Homo-oligomer: A and B are copies of this chain.
Amino acid sequence: MIFIFAPVKAANSKYCQCLYFSSNALARKIEKLANESWKKVGLTPSHAYLLMLVIEEPGIQPSALVRQLLLTPSTITRLIEKLEEKKLVVRTNEGKLTNVYPTPKSKAMLPDLKDCLVNFYQNYSSIIGKEESARLVNNMNRLVDKLPS
């Protein structure tokens, strides 16, 4: 295959040997791919992951979502707010705790959400290979756990 115009490649970048550069470039590309996969349910991947956790564990608290999604408390609140606007979750307050519950509407969406997840997985693993992606995911997670929070 001949590229008349040079394709934009990380390998062509001066800073491609820097972890900052590579991890960001990768995350942005993956994000784009994931957005495609979750378009069918009209949610961003983050909202969809959070919603799936809520459906699987009704009444789950924001602090637990923080731990599951590795996002900050404020981000979790904002994600929940958006899902609440869309009538996909409801919040109840008991003392200082908040419980997040799915609605009938979102429970009915669960099969579609799982389809998106499968679709996304198949999508990226067809591009980069099942074993390779599994290996990379493991390496990345090891790193995440080593780095300071």
Contacts and interface: CB of A to CB of B under 8 A. Distances in A.
A101 to B, nearest CB: 18
Interface residues of A, number: 58
A84 B10 CA distance: 26
A77 interface: no
B30 A23 contact: yes
Interface string A30-67: 11011000000000010001000100100000000011
A26 B29 contact: no
Contacts of A8: 66-67, 70, 149
A56 B145 CA distance: 36
Contacts of A68: 12-15
